[in-house]
Each structure stands twice: as C-alpha cells, then as structure tokens.
A and B are shown apart, each in its own frame.
Chain A
C-alpha cells in the first residue's frame, strides 16, 4: 500500500440503505462517486441522477453499416466483378440477398455494441483498479451494497465524507489507496517480453504461410485432379520403350487424309502426274504469302531472288526466277517442298498439304511479277 489515497468507501446491508445513501451523496453535489452492488438495483440510476446511455446510437449505426456492407459486397461480387449466369437469375437477385444481409447486419451490430460497451464505455480490461482486492470489493461482489467517493472529486474532504457515511448508518467505512506499482507505473519502451512475443508472432505467421502455400496445398488430398491419370501432350511415359507418351505411327499404316507421298525420289513423275488442286484466289494466296515469308524467305528472299538475310552464311540459293524454275510444273515445285533438294531440307512437317500448294501459287505470282507478259496488262 502506498500513501496515495484513491477514495473513501462505505458498505451498506440493504438495498434501501444504498438507494438512500446514493440519493444523499448526489444531493450533496458529489460527482466523482460510484455505487457498487452485486446486481443492478432498481431505481439506482434515478437516485444517482445518471444521464440515459448513449450506447443505442452505436448499435443503430453499426447495424445500418452492416446492411450497406452486405448488399454492396454481394452486388459487387456477383454483378460487377465476375458476373456469371446462375440458374437464369438476374445478376442482382435481391430476394436471394436478404438472408445474408440480415445476418451480417445482426453480426456487426451486436459485435460493435459489445465492443463499444466493454472497451470504450467501461475501459475494460482493467485489473489494476485500486478497488480490486479490497475488502470493499469482496463484499459488494457478494451481498453488500457499497458507495465510494474518489479523491478526484472537487468537494473531496476525508473528514466530511466519513461523517456523511456514518450518518447514513454505513456498516463499514474505509479508505482505499493506490497500489505502489500502480502509482509508479512507467511505460517501458520496447520491453523485451513484448518484443519477443511480437517476433514469435511474426515467425509463426511467416512459417505457417510458407508451409501452407508451398507444401500443404501440394499434398494429398489437396493435389487431387492436379496430376491427371491420362497422357497429355509431350508428357513422359515409362510404359513405352522410348519413354515418351507420344508414339510414332506404325510402319505402313495410312492415316485419314494422309496418303503417303507417292513420288519419293521421282521428281520427274511428280512433275508430270501431280496436279495443283488449288485455283489461285485471294485467300490461298494470302496463306501462301504468309507461309512463304515465314519459311522460304529466309533463304530465297522475299522476292525469291535468292538474296536473303542469310546471304553468304549458307551456299546461296538460286533465284527462283530462272528459266528452269519458271518452266517447272506446279507438281515439280511441290515435290521440292516435300523432299527438299541439295541443302534445302523437306518442309513437309512445317507446311500442310494445302499450304504447300498455296506457297506454290504464291511463288507463281512472284515469278509473274518479275517477268510480266503483255497479256497481264
């Protein structure tokens, strides 16, 4: 116990006494006093002349806030951020929102009210209050009714108060002092315990976050349907000797739309027998141009003159405007694309059959463009 006095307290035995006491103390004009009773006593608020509580307003605004929040949240999520057609309902199905709106309203209202009550109105938690662990408190929390006038009170005068209490037939009258540590309590800057606690929190949060995102989510059962029990493109597979999921077609089999090229190493026959299925028109010339520029131009050049970006890095390809090439039939050109010649490789992987013919057509256009005939004019 320090010498610093907090208040003078008095205990009474019956509710009537305490009401009476409260009345008188109020009349005497004391303001910094309080009544402590084991349970709320009817008429005490009147006796103490307490103003009506403001708590109701908190509840009202919290509630309204909840309603607005709920409606906005749902409206935004379902109608604006990611609108999906669900059961043919409109994007803002108000009737369906009502239940949740109601729940959120209630939740916010109650939590805010209680929060405000305890922490704002009552300034709880507070176990350092001088009244704690006093004989006075022990009694009022069981069956006695107490009143306590603080030193803070402007009219505070120990003697007067003692007399007043006595005149009210108080069963016990006693002073209450501040605890020592209460009196000389100082805010310690960054006390190690608290820091340690925060660091621990930080570590825990980081670690659990890391484990969750990098480990937990990749273990069974979270990993289900992550690895599919099927062979997708370019996936390894040990079942086959070559360890590939992708297999070569069987020797000699013929796939739909892929009858093998019949003129292997027979350029002349190809030239004779192959006919161009494509009549040059805007579309397939477009395709031809596109493919030519991608695959052919690097060596043959955009104008097929054999001057290209790769000049001198490879043996230069001949110009395709030569007499020889111009007199070649479409089939012959096609053959070159399919089988390649000299250093030129086959382009049958890069170009589909349609595209090859399209390229041939485009090449014809290029040739014509350089040596146009009168008839073209």
Chain B
C-alpha cells in the first residue's frame, strides 16, 4: 500500500498509480462509451445476448467450483514432552536379542515414535556381524499378529492374572503335597537367567521334572562330540580358513547350525573381486540342498552310505601312503580295510575319478580342509568324521573360542516314554508347557497325545496359539520378544542382552515373571523380572569380571551395545577317542527317507507368519507347502509326476505327501521337511503342508534317516504352488535358455585364470540412435556378486518388511501373482541326474533406457535425476503395459487389494497396520509396484547430508536387501563416484548385465560365477 502525498490513496492498477491521463479520464465517466450509455437491448443481436447469458452461466459454474471445502484430515497429537531419544519422523534403534532353536542373534530394532517397524542385525554381535536369518526379519509380524494370545484364559474363558495365578499356585501346592509329578516342558533354554528361574521353580516344587524337547536337534552330533572328545562345547568352524570343504549330508549353508555365521565365513573363500584363489566345496548328499546347489563338485549318495564313504576315504589315504596306520586303533583299522574307494564307487555308481580327486584335494590341503557332517547323520558317522578331520590335521579349523554351548540337554526317548507311561498310570498331576509345544513336537507314536487326557491340569505359557494351548486348561499369554527382557548365551565368550522396545500391546506377562510369581507369590508386575535379570547379570557377569565402571553404567552400556563379551571358557584339545566307534548297519533296503528341517520357520514355531510361508523354497521355489522330493528316475520308475499325492509308510506309520521331482537327487530316496501341517495354530499356519512328524521314530527321537520306506501312489493330485515353472531338464525345447540368452554367465576357475576377460568374447556391439542423458550428481547402481550369492532368500524377507509387501496366499501364488519385489531365479543345466544349478537375484534393474517408462501412457513411471526408475503409485492407472514390456518381469500388479483378499482379510486390521513402514506407500488395488532401491533410505541419508551441510559419503546408502545379505553379495552405491564399491564392481572383468543386447542399460550389474571345478564338468 503506497502512501502518496500524505494521505493513503487506493489505486486499482499500475497505470492509475502512475496517474495515466486515460485512466483518470475513464474514472471521470465511469461508464465508457459503448458499454452502457443509452442502453437499448433491441439493438443488440440475438447472438450477443446468448453470449452474455452463457458467460453468466459459466461464471456461476466457476464461482461454485471456486468455493470447494476441504476434508478434515484428522486430529494431530504431538508429544506433551518428547522423550530425548525419540525425534518424530526419525527412526530410533535398540539393541536386543533374538533367540530360537538354541541359537541367538544380536539384533537392532528400528523403531518409529516408540513402535518397532523393522528388525536388523546388530553389527556388534561378534558371531553374526549384523546378519540375521529370514525368520528374524519376518518375526516383527508376530508382534502384530492378530491371533496372538491376548489375555489369560481358564478353560477358554477370559480371566485375570491374579485369579489364574492363585488357582495354579494352590494346585501346585496340592500336587506337591500328594507327590504327583509336575511335568515341565520347555525348549532348550539359552538364557542363564531364565535357566536359573526354572531351576528355582524346580527346587521350589520338589516334584517338578523338566523335559526339554526340540523337534530338530543336534543330539547325534553332541553325542558324538562327547564320545570322541568328552566335552559339551562344539567348536564352530573357521570356514574362511578352509581351502577344501567336504560336506556330508549337511546343509550348513542352508539350514543347519548358525547359518549366518557359516555363510559369512564360507564366502570369504569365494571373493573373486579380491583374489582368484577360491576354496573348493565338495558336497555329498541325497537331496538337493542349498549347500548342494552351491557346491563345486556334487555327488549323489544315499544317506546310509556316508559311513562307508568316510571309511573308504581313510582307506584311500592309507593306500596312497598319505597316512600311516599307527594313527588308527585296530577296531577302526579293521573297518577301514573292509572298504576301498574302488568298491565304494562301483557299489554306489559314483564316478571314481571324482572321488579320487576329492581324496587328493583333502590330502593336499592338510590342515586347510574340513569335513563336515550333517545333523541328520548318526553319531557313529560323526565320530568317524571327527577322526578323519584329525587325521587330516584339520583340528586347527575348530574354533572353540566361539564354540556352541549346549547347556540344556534334550530329553532322551526313554525319559519321554517313561513320562508317557507315568501319565497313563495317572502319576502325573500337571503338565506345564513353558513356551514349547509338546503336542506337536513329540512324535505321535510315543502316544503322548493319547494319554494326555489323563492329566487334568495342563498349563500353557505361550505367546501364540498352538496344538498344546488348544488342550490346555490354563493358557497364560506371554510377551513377544520385542516386549521382553532377557539375556542369552549360546556361544562361548558372548552374552547378548534383550530389552523391550514397546510396552506390552496386550494383557501379557514376561514368561519368567509368571514363574517368579509362582515361586515367591509376589504380585505380578512388569519390572519384576527386569530387576531379577539385572541382579543376576550383576552376580554372574559383573562380579566375576573386573570392570572399571560402576554396575549401573556397566548395565546401561551393556543394554546399549546389546552384547557382552566375556572370557570364553577354555577347552582342552584332546585326540579323538576311537574306542567308542563301532560299525553301523549301512545296508539299506527299499527306499530311504531323509527328514530335514524346513528352511525358514524353525520347526514350525513361526509357521503362523505369512511372510515366511510365502518365501519360495530356495531350491524348488515351492511356497506354502512341504513335499516329497524324489529323483526324476525314481519318479519315472513309479510313474509319478509333480503334484501326485503319494502315501509314504515306514515302521507302521504312514503319511501322505505331494511329489516334487527334484533333479540331482539320489535315486530311491525321498527328502521331506518338518514344521508343516500345524493345527490350532492360527489362520495362516493351520493345514499348511503336511505333518511328517509321525515318521519320526519314537524309539530314537533323533533319527532322521529311515530305511525300508514304501511309497504308493494314491491317484489323487495335490497342487503345489511354486513361483517358477518346472520344465523337465531334458526337454530340448527349452533347454539351457539362461545360457543361450546370457542371463547367466559362468566360467570355471581355470578359464578365468587363463583369460580374465573370457566374458568379453562374442559380446554384442551395441549402439543407440539417441545419445544418453547426463546424470550430474549421484547415479545409484547395484552390483550382485553371483560368487557370493548363495540363493538363501534372506534379502527377500528383509525387502518384504521394509517395503510393506503384502502376503497373497497360496492360490494367488499358484496363479503367478506373488508380490515380492525381489526374487531369486533358479536355473538348471546339465542332466537331470547331475544338474548344474545357477541362482540369480532378480529385482528392478533401474535401466537408463527403461522400456517400462516409454509405454506408460500416464507418466506414472519415469526417471529420477539420480538415475532411479521411479513409480508414482497414485498416478498409476494399471494398464500393466510396463509389466509386459519389462524384459526382467520384475514389476508386480495388485490384482486385488491383497491385504484384504488374503485369508478373509487376515492382515487387514488396525493391529497389523502397525507393521507397515511409515516411509513407504501402502499400495492399493489396481496399481503396479516394484523395487525402488529403497528410495526412502536414500532420501534419509540425503536429508542428513543436507542438514549437516555435506556431500553424501561414499557407500553411505544401503538398501535393505544389501544389509540383509549374509554374504555381502549385494553392493549398492553411487556409480558416478569412482571410489565407491559399486563402481569397482562394475569395472570388474566378470561384471555383466542381464540381456545386455537389448541396450536397456540396466543399473544392476552381476559378477559372473566362477566354479572351482573341471571345465569339462560344466
């Protein structure tokens, strides 16, 4: 507002402001000529009147549209006083522990405004180095599982904690008085404090007897180690030191032992970027395991023959004078002499030259090789393996410093059988199920489930519903691990702490608190166990070690780090005690059966987790089911095809399973997996797959290899849902396409050594008619090292959680509508008997010349200035043209609102919404979605950089698949930055793009796999 010559004067236009004479004139007579003076409507033509009225109409319309009201977007509720550690919109991390199946992983829990939204690995964990398996990633869903037990129940009716505790305590007292046994079932306890609580409980009520069950256990191995070295601690293996690895019926890269650690160390020997000296993995197995598909040399062998194999190897070593007899006891020598390599190879139809090579390799790398037996093998074989390792001087590769501690012994079959008989004679007054699941985990033919009705008081202390809670009188819900306090020791020299990151969502208690209440009769409160734990830690760690800081500081620091390194107890190294070793009956009749653990959800405990159920099996790519895997030849012999339902019977027990024809398996052998066929365990888990526990032998809980199995065709068909079509390997029509099309490029070590640039032979010369765009600052790119990638699928799990990927269910997977943004492609070449398997993680390649972008009519997908192929979900109308035109088929379409369509909207509720990452759009029906290179992480890093007024640091951004990859096969970074890792990879001799000749210029490069094997075998 201008104030001209003192008084305020209002001006309507610049002209007027400048005292334009015309304007002044016009101001004098308000109506200009022709506008309205002597107004005579009749002079106006019809047309202009219409025009006038039309304008009137239009202006009314505009007026109406102008005054649009806006909707109320809901209340905004800030913190009253903000906790120091929480900055709204920014993640806060807590160190904690995930413990399951006798193993523990240090985790970092990512929380937003006090709500956990993702679980990542804790880099301070010296064992796992910040890597965690799929079940840990996905377990966040269990916290928000709508079917969690939410309040204490008596006979299914809701009740209060005071009431239920009161009743139980009086019951326990009563039982103690009339001396009836209280059977206390638990899984192996890895927490010293919990162990102590349990012991206190056991001593408080004298008649408590503790039974430890574990469906898939290492009993044979533990037993063997006790026999051969007479010690509990089993060393972990220094895989990184091993030049030659012989894996006998063991899936140490897939599902046996602490896989994250194994993978981490094993791939150190496959790092082609650093060196071209690779380790060599021999794998002798019946089924086709993840280890098998990653091995350089793979031999098919029926599981019972492993014992003789080891003997023949020793025999060969003796004959070839690489070993002197003196090291062997007479009884062993006798066994050894019964076998020979020639005899063995002819009996089992194995190429002798390969075996010979194996033996030479082992003896050439004395002290640098390792022979590793699978958990399923009987203890005799394990002893023999220990012996072989000793003979090969491989004991140096045993790492006792970080050895496995097996404090809680699994109950033997006798104990369980006794219990059953006691129950049937009504000598057992109560059964307490301490967060385990005996009804499912005990083999049915023990008869536990039959007699259990004799026990009136069954108490289940459990987080989720299960077969056991279903029959329990008292059901006491406990905290999820993200709500719990705890300490865990599974490894020598490291204790990991557990702290809650969110206050209990439901009326649950810490499981130890419940016991403490029964012991001390104190009123239950949440910090009861917290203080107990603190005291206990003070007593058994703080007081022992000499720490400078006061206990409080010590405690806070420990919680902060999540891990405590303590002096590991030393283990006396002794020679293998050979006397225990006696021959086992390896003569197998009929078909043999191997029962493995499943890949992802640990003996069924996490079966109610949709994300885990939908992870494709690493080898067969089957989801939502287990199956009987058999060799193609065996299938032909019994005229079976995929999805045929067969009846498997052994030792009077029989079950049905669908057939899955698996190339590369030993003939007349069935391999199947445990953990499926759950009941009363929730919408997701119930009736998924088949329960194979009945086959487990009641006489010996740890017998996973069965002989003399009969297999009959039922004639029914059961459709398995797999994410990849199964072409029979000898179908010439589609054979070896992945090689012909240069999707997979591979070479052998000698090829690579002779000519590091061997990939560049017959490369296409590519040119473009338009010149490509300049990317000024960052240009994001990824590189995947196929030498390190094992195909373990943990990137997928992490990606699912990070990017709100919905669960679609079996039917939709069968229709080919799975939504995972990332997938691991698996290709077979070679023969059905001896297939060569290649795996390849496939995700959006963020092509510079993205074919998807050209065809999107609405510009919903286009390129960002930093080289990302980005999606505007709310612009997408879902023509699916982009998906059609994507040569990598990585785009996913929401055919339904999958959250709503899966299992009666099981995951479509207020509670499960909490699991969704606030940084990522929750996609609706009818839009396309795909990998974004975790753009939310990129943006966060960029924000920080801007706030701190600096450039983005080299390799500062990580995608969730990258951070989840246990072998660091995935590298992500700025390809415009010359010191970034990814640039180094892109320039490496072995780097290539999939379908390079299309000239779509992908930003994901792959490093070709180098196989350490004879070129003629590939």
B854 contacts chain A at the CB level, 8 A cutoff: yes
Which residue of the partner chain, among B41, B78, B852, B910, contacts A234 with CB atoms under 8 Å? B78
B53 contacts chain A at the CB level, 8 A cutoff: yes
When each residue 97-115 of chain B gets 1 if its CB lies under 8 Å from chain A and 0 otherwise, what string results? Answer: 0000000000010001111
B570 contacts chain A at the CB level, 8 A cutoff: no
* Residue numbers in A under 8 Å from B82 (CB-CB): 349
B85–A235 CB distance below 8 A: no
* Distance in angstroms between the alpha carbons of A307 and B484 in the assembled complex: 51
* Distance in angstroms between the alpha carbons of A348 and B81 in the assembled complex: 11
A53 contacts chain B at the CB level, 8 A cutoff: no
B922–A86 CB distance below 8 A: no
Which residue of the partner chain, among B60, B552, B850, B927, contacts A87 with CB atoms under 8 Å? B850
* Residue numbers in A under 8 Å from B125 (CB-CB): none
Total residue contacts A-B, CB cutoff 8 A: 208
> Which residues, 38 to 77 on B, are CB-close (under 8 Å) to A?
41-42, 46, 49-50, 53-54, 56-58, 60-61, 63-65, 68-69, 71, 74-77
* Distance in angstroms between the alpha carbons of A256 and B81 in the assembled complex: 20
* Residue numbers in A under 8 Å from B81 (CB-CB): 349
A259–B56 CB distance below 8 A: no
CB distance from B223 to the nearest CB of A (A): 40
* Distance in angstroms between the alpha carbons of A129 and B65 in the assembled complex: 43
A279 contacts chain B at the CB level, 8 A cutoff: no
From A24-32, A65-73, A201-209, A362-370, the one touching the partner chain is A201-209
> Which residue from chain B places its CB closest to the CB of A262 in the assembled complex?
B553
B93–A256 CB distance below 8 A: yes
B88–A233 CB distance below 8 A: yes
Are A234 and B922 CB-contacts (below 8 A) given A88-B849, A89-B854, A255-B94?
no
Which residue of the partner chain, among B75, B83, B556, B913, contacts A254 with CB atoms under 8 Å? B556
B559–A254 CB distance below 8 A: yes
B918–A88 CB distance below 8 A: no
Which residue of the partner chain, among A198, A221, A256, contacts B54 with CB atoms under 8 Å? A198
B49–A250 CB distance below 8 A: no
* Distance in angstroms between the alpha carbons of A203 and B53 in the assembled complex: 13
Q: How many B residues face the partner with a CB closer than 8 A?
A: 90
A198–B560 CB distance below 8 A: no
* Distance in angstroms between the alpha carbons of A248 and B925 in the assembled complex: 34
* Residue numbers in B under 8 Å from A93 (CB-CB): 770
> Which residue from chain A places its CB closest to the CB of B912 in the assembled complex?
A229
A313 contacts chain B at the CB level, 8 A cutoff: no
From B500-508, B593-601, B742-750, the one touching the partner chain is B500-508
B874 contacts chain A at the CB level, 8 A cutoff: yes
* Distance in angstroms between the alpha carbons of A229 and B71 in the assembled complex: 18
> Which residue from chain B places its CB closest to the CB of A189 in the assembled complex?
B41
Are A254 and B68 CB-contacts (below 8 A) given A206-B63, A236-B75?
no
Are A89 and B770 CB-contacts (below 8 A) given A201-B57, A238-B910, A249-B86?
yes
* Residue numbers in A under 8 Å from B557 (CB-CB): 259
A247 contacts chain B at the CB level, 8 A cutoff: yes
* Residue numbers in A under 8 Å from B849 (CB-CB): 87-88
> Which residue from chain B places its CB closest to the CB of A238 in the assembled complex?
B910
Which residue of the partner chain, among A235, A246, A252, contacts B527 with CB atoms under 8 Å? A252
Are A206 and B64 CB-contacts (below 8 A) given A86-B854, A254-B556?
yes
> Which residue from chain A places its CB closest to the CB of B53 in the assembled complex?
A198
B770–A90 CB distance below 8 A: yes
Are A246 and B88 CB-contacts (below 8 A) given A86-B863, A230-B922, A254-B556?
yes
When each residue 194-224 of chain A gets 1 if its CB lies under 8 Å from chain B and 0 otherwise, what string results? Answer: 1100110111011101100110001001001
A340 contacts chain B at the CB level, 8 A cutoff: no
B94–A214 CB distance below 8 A: no
Are A86 and B93 CB-contacts (below 8 A) given A190-B49, A210-B65?
no
A228 contacts chain B at the CB level, 8 A cutoff: yes
* Residue numbers in B under 8 Å from A349 (CB-CB): 81-82, 84
CB distance from A327 to the nearest CB of B (A): 27
A294 contacts chain B at the CB level, 8 A cutoff: no
B851 contacts chain A at the CB level, 8 A cutoff: yes
CB distance from A256 to the nearest CB of B (A): 4
Are A230 and B913 CB-contacts (below 8 A) given A224-B925, A245-B113, A254-B559?
yes
A377 contacts chain B at the CB level, 8 A cutoff: no
A50 contacts chain B at the CB level, 8 A cutoff: no
A230–B499 CB distance below 8 A: no
* Residue numbers in A under 8 Å from B921 (CB-CB): 225, 228
> Which residue from chain B places its CB closest to the CB of A212 in the assembled complex?
B65
B911 contacts chain A at the CB level, 8 A cutoff: yes
Are A187 and B46 CB-contacts (below 8 A) given A253-B501, A254-B499?
yes
* Residue numbers in B under 8 Å from A228 (CB-CB): 916, 921-922
Which residue of the partner chain, among A210, A239, A245, A246, contacts B64 with CB atoms under 8 Å? A210
> Which of B64, B804, B874 has the largest count of A CB atoms less than 10 A from its CB?
B64
A256–B560 CB distance below 8 A: yes
* Distance in angstroms between the alpha carbons of A190 and B557 in the assembled complex: 88
Which residue of the partner chain, among B68, B505, B874, contacts A225 with CB atoms under 8 Å? B874
B773–A88 CB distance below 8 A: yes
> Which residue from chain A places its CB closest to the CB of B920 in the assembled complex?
A230
A255–B85 CB distance below 8 A: yes
Q: How many A residues face the partner with a CB closer than 8 A?
A: 62
B1001 contacts chain A at the CB level, 8 A cutoff: yes
CB distance from B60 to the nearest CB of A (A): 4
> Which residues, 80 to 139 on B, are CB-close (under 8 Å) to A?
81-86, 88-89, 92-95, 108, 112-115
* Residue numbers in B under 8 Å from A84 (CB-CB): 859, 862-863
B667 contacts chain A at the CB level, 8 A cutoff: no
> Which residue from chain A places its CB closest to the CB of B504 in the assembled complex?
A250
A202–B863 CB distance below 8 A: no
Which residue of the partner chain, among A87, A234, A238, A262, contacts B851 with CB atoms under 8 Å? A87
When each residue 845-864 of chain B gets 1 if its CB lies under 8 Å from chain A and 0 otherwise, what string results? Answer: 00111111110000100110
Are A232 and B76 CB-contacts (below 8 A) given A189-B49, A210-B68?
no
> Which residue from chain A places its CB closest to the CB of B95 in the assembled complex?
A256
* Distance in angstroms between the alpha carbons of A237 and B75 in the assembled complex: 10
A253–B94 CB distance below 8 A: yes
* Distance in angstroms between the alpha carbons of A348 and B75 in the assembled complex: 27
* Distance in angstroms between the alpha carbons of A373 and B988 in the assembled complex: 61
A239–B911 CB distance below 8 A: yes
B499–A213 CB distance below 8 A: no
* Residue numbers in A under 8 Å from B69 (CB-CB): 214
B65–A88 CB distance below 8 A: no
A234–B92 CB distance below 8 A: no
B772 contacts chain A at the CB level, 8 A cutoff: yes
B566 contacts chain A at the CB level, 8 A cutoff: no
A51 contacts chain B at the CB level, 8 A cutoff: no
B873 contacts chain A at the CB level, 8 A cutoff: yes
CB distance from B83 to the nearest CB of A (A): 5
A260–B556 CB distance below 8 A: yes
* Residue numbers in A under 8 Å from B95 (CB-CB): 254, 256
When each residue 253-267 of chain A gets 1 if its CB lies under 8 Å from chain B and 0 otherwise, what string results? Answer: 111111110100000
Which residue of the partner chain, among A224, A236, A256, A260, contacts B94 with CB atoms under 8 Å? A256
B42–A189 CB distance below 8 A: yes
A254–B64 CB distance below 8 A: no
Which residue of the partner chain, among A213, A224, A246, A348, contacts B79 with CB atoms under 8 Å? A246
A343 contacts chain B at the CB level, 8 A cutoff: no
* Distance in angstroms between the alpha carbons of A250 and B770 in the assembled complex: 59
B577 contacts chain A at the CB level, 8 A cutoff: no
Are A88 and B53 CB-contacts (below 8 A) given A187-B46, A225-B922, A230-B918?
no
A341 contacts chain B at the CB level, 8 A cutoff: no
> Which residue from chain A places its CB closest to the CB of B848 in the assembled complex?
A88
A246–B77 CB distance below 8 A: yes
Are A239 and B910 CB-contacts (below 8 A) given A87-B853, A233-B88?
yes
* Residue numbers in B under 8 Å from A262 (CB-CB): 552-553, 556
* Distance in angstroms between the alpha carbons of A239 and B68 in the assembled complex: 34
14 additional contacts, CB 8 Å, given A245-B115, A255-B93, A259-B556?
A: A86-B862, A93-B770, A187-B46, A205-B61, A224-B925, A229-B922, A231-B918, A236-B75, A239-B505, A239-B914, A246-B113, A254-B556, A255-B92, A349-B81
Give the 5 A-B residue pairs with the shortest CB-CB distance, closest first: A247-B114, A206-B64, A202-B57, A230-B916, A224-B924
